[in-house]
Chain A
Amino acid sequence: MGWQKQILRVNLTKGTAEIEPLNMEWAHDYLGERGLATKYLYEGMDPKTDPMAPENMLIFATGPLTGTMASTSGRYAVVTKGPLTNAIACSNSGGKFGAEMKFAGYDMIILEGKSPKPVYLHIIDDQIEILPADDIWGTSVWNTEEHIKSKHQNPLLKVASIGEAGEKGARYACIVNDLHRAAGRSGVGAVMGSKNLKAIAVHGTKGVRVKDPKAFMKAVKETHALLADNSGRKGLTELGTNDMIDAMQEFGGLPTKNFNEVQFEGTSKINPAAAAAVGPDGHKNLLTNKACFGCTIACGRIAHIHGEHFSIVNKPEYRHASGGLEYETAYAFGPMLKVDDIDALTYAAFSTNEHGLDPISFGATLAAAMELYEMGVITKDDTDGVDLSFGNAEALTIMADKTGKYEGFGQILAMGSKLMCEKYGHPELSMSVKGQEFAGYDSRALQGMGLGFATSNRGACHLKHDVFAEDMEDQTGKGKVEPCKNSQDKIAMIDSSGLCLFTTCAWDTPEFQKQIAAACEGDDWTVERLIEVGERVWNLERMYNLEAGLTAADDTLPKRLLETPAPSGTAKGHVSELPTMLPEYYEYRGWTKDGEPTTQTLSRLGLESR
Chain B
Amino acid sequence: MQKSLLIDPQKCTSCLQCEMACSAEHTGAFNPARSRIKIFEFEHGARSIPYTCTQCAEAWCLHACPVEAITKNMETGAMEVNETTCVGCKVCTIACPFGTINYNPDTGKVAKCDLCSGDPQCADACPTGAITYVDAGWTGYDRMQEWAVRTHAQTQA
Contacts and interface: CB of A to CB of B under 8 A. Distances in A.
Given A180-B45, A290-B45, A321-B44, A204 B16 contact: no
Contacts of A291: 13-15
Contacts of A67: 30
A228 B27 CA distance: 27
B45 to A, nearest CB: 6
Interface string B35-48: 00000000111111
A289 B130 CA distance: 14
Contacts of A68: 20, 30
A176 to B, nearest CB: 13
Given A205-B33, A207-B23, A321 B16 contact: no
A296 B20 contact: no
A338 interface: no
A14 interface: no
B127 A103 contact: no
A177 B45 CA distance: 13
A130 interface: no
A207 B34 contact: yes
B21 to A, nearest CB: 7
A240 interface: no
A290 B33 contact: no
A69 B29 contact: no
A213 B29 CA distance: 9
Contact of A321 (B34, B46, B106, B128): B46
B17 interface: yes
Contacts of B127: 71, 224, 228, 296
B88 to A, nearest CB: 17
B22 to A, nearest CB: 11
B21 A69 contact: yes
A290 B14 contact: yes
A156 B33 contact: yes
B95 interface: no
B32 A296 contact: no
Give the one of A69, A296, A320, A322 with max B CB within 10 A. Answer: A69
A327 to B, nearest CB: 19
Given A207-B23, A321-B44, A294 B17 contact: yes
Interface string B49-80: 00000000000000000000000000000000
B86 interface: no
Nearest to A205: B33
A209 B24 CA distance: 9
A302 interface: yes
Interface residues of B, number: 27
Contacts of A180: 44-45
Given A69-B21, A294-B17, A207 B45 contact: no
B28 interface: yes
Contacts of B106: 205
Contact of B30 (A69, A288, A298): A69
A321 B41 CA distance: 12
A210 B47 CA distance: 31
A59 B31 CA distance: 24
B125 interface: yes
B30 A287 contact: no
Given A288-B46, A302-B45, A321-B45, A293 B33 contact: no
A320 B30 CA distance: 33
B33 A207 contact: yes
A299 to B, nearest CB: 10
B44 to A, nearest CB: 5
B20 A69 contact: yes
Contacts, number: 89
Nearest to A67: B30
A294 B44 contact: no
Interface string B107-131: 0000000000000000001011000
A559 interface: no
A64 to B, nearest CB: 12
A205 B34 contact: yes
A206 interface: yes
A207 B33 CA distance: 8
A295 interface: yes
Contacts of A514: none
B31 A293 contact: no
A320 B44 contact: yes
Contacts of B20: 68-69, 294
Give the one of A209, A288, A295 with max B CB within 10 A. Answer: A288
A302 B30 contact: no
B32 A295 contact: no
B129 to A, nearest CB: 11
A344 to B, nearest CB: 19
Nearest to B128: A298
Contacts of B47: 288
Contacts of A298: 13, 15, 128
B17 A207 contact: no
A207 B28 CA distance: 9
A195 B29 CA distance: 35
Contacts of B24: 69, 213, 217
Given A294-B15, A296-B15, A203 B33 contact: yes
A209 B28 contact: yes
Contacts of A103: 31-33
Contacts of A179: 44-45
Given A320-B44, A322-B44, A204 B33 contact: yes
A62 to B, nearest CB: 13
Contact of A208 (B29, B45, B46): B29
Interface string A175-219: 000111000000000000000000000011111111001000100
Interface string A215-237: 00100000010001000000000
Nearest to A288: B46
Given A290-B13, A296-B15, A207 B31 contact: yes
8 contacts: A69-B21, A96-B16, A103-B33, A204-B33, A294-B16, A295-B15, A304-B46, A321-B43
Interface of B: 13-17, 20-21, 23-24, 27-34, 43-48, 106, 125, 127-128
Interface of A: 67-69, 71, 96, 99, 103, 156, 178-180, 203-210, 213, 217, 224, 228, 287-296, 298, 302, 304, 320-323
Given A180-B44, A290-B13, 20 more contacts: A69-B21, A71-B127, A96-B16, A178-B45, A179-B45, A205-B34, A207-B33, A208-B31, A209-B29, A210-B30, A288-B13, A290-B48, A292-B15, A294-B15, A296-B15, A298-B128, A302-B46, A320-B43, A322-B44, A322-B45
